[in-house]
Amino acid sequence: MTRFSFTVHATDGRARTGAIAMQRGTIRTPAFMPVGTAGTVKAMKVEDVAATGADIILGNTYHLMLRPGAERMARLGGLHNFMRWDKPILTDSGGYQVMSLSDLRKITEEGVTFASHIDGSRHNLTPERSMEIQRLLGSDIVMAFDECPKIDQPRDVIAKSMEMSMRWARRSRDGFDAGGEHAERAALFGIQQGGLDEELRAASAGALTEIGFDGYAIGGLAVGEGQEAMFATLDFAPGQLPADRPRYLMGVGKPDDLVGAVERGVDMFDCVLPTRSGRNGQGFTWDGPLNMRNAKHAEDMGPLDPECTCPVCAKYSRAYLHHLHKAGEMLGAMLLTEHNLSFYQQLMAAMRGAIAEARFASFAAAFRARYLAKR
């Protein structure tokens, strides 16, 4: 049975569509991974997440190691069994969340010591421990442990951070490979760092390629630099990574971010935006995002998006969604989340189709003209 393989089926410009084959299933690319931070995609049942078209979800190492705990998760049969998701799961390394705890952590060459945001307990996260936790969770795609520096740091600080992340990448590779049965069925991705600097990104890509990974992530973006700077970096970063491996842009993004990144050669994405926005009353449509709390929806009996094929748009009106969110009813969050995740998967499917039919440039232009039109 295939452990991990990536096949590019078609290219159009730098955009490409293909498939990742793994033991728990096939991931169609470009792929969007809903975020299941703590063993759940918020406000969704796993069968409903699958029904949106998601081939893979993301789990969060930091949150799961603190609660319920990696060793407990292993005793309970792993994350798949625990949450009843039978498709692939990618787990992040925990590095990003730990780095965001600037007042609660200390970084050394060995790793990161930090205080839990839940109860203040002390923990030590190293490349080796991150690999062990992800193995205990039963992850299908394991992410190397890295440091994600703030984007506004001086170049020398970002360079030193990147160089340490590359040393951690080697330790992650060794730790993963020592994982026995898990290493024989799972995959390991390295993470490119280097801020917005082309030379630093190239050095990072070279170091990762020399180590060798199943896939390569572009890290350190979507951290406040803005879309223009992100796209400028994506103009060169994906091309620095091996063309025969998946390229994963971490933490992105808005629908127009996804289109622009696919245009530049990215294959995989994750972001909390569709679920978080759903809980906050925002619904995504082909004509741009809508705030369902706005009074203009109060007597609109039309669907949220007339072109959407999801069950929410088939059954419920804008007026009802408006009412639920104004009334603070949890069903409002559930329905908008389901719609948003469905919309994201419909967008990914539309991009895959456009690439396969060699019309991606016109698709992207038409999408932007409509989605970004002033409303």
Tokens of 23: 């033991």
Peptide bond before residue 194 is cis, with ω within 30 degrees of 0: no
Interior angle at CA 206, CA 205 and CA 208, nearest 5: 65
CA distance 90 to 69: 17
Which residues are 98's β-sheet partners? none
Tokens of 33: 């991974």
Q: Using DSSP, how many helices (H) and how many strands (E) does the chain show?
A: 17, 16
**From residue 33, how far is each of 52, 56, 190, 226, 253 by CA, in Å?**
11, 6, 17, 22, 11
Tokens of 49: 């997440």
CA distance 187 to 131: 11
Three-state SS string across 67-81, please?
Answer: CCCHHHHHHCCHHHH
If one counts every other C-beta atom within 10 angstroms of the C-beta of residue 226, the result is 10
CA distance 139 to 161: 26
Counting every residue, how long is the chain? 375
Give the residue among 188, 89, 162, 173 at the shortest CA–CA distance from 128.
173
Catalytic, out of 92, 140, 214, 257: 92
Q: Do 24 and 317 contact (CB within 8 A), yes or no?
A: no
* 214 belongs to the catalytic site: no
* 156 belongs to the catalytic site: no
Tokens of 30: 């470009």
CA distance 357 to 342: 22
SS3 154: coil
Catalytic, out of 55, 140, 270, 305: 270
Q: Do 149 and 115 contact (CB within 8 A), yes or no?
A: no
CA distance 228 to 224: 11
Interior angle at CA 327, CA 326 and CA 328, nearest 5: 95
Catalytic residue IDs: 92, 270
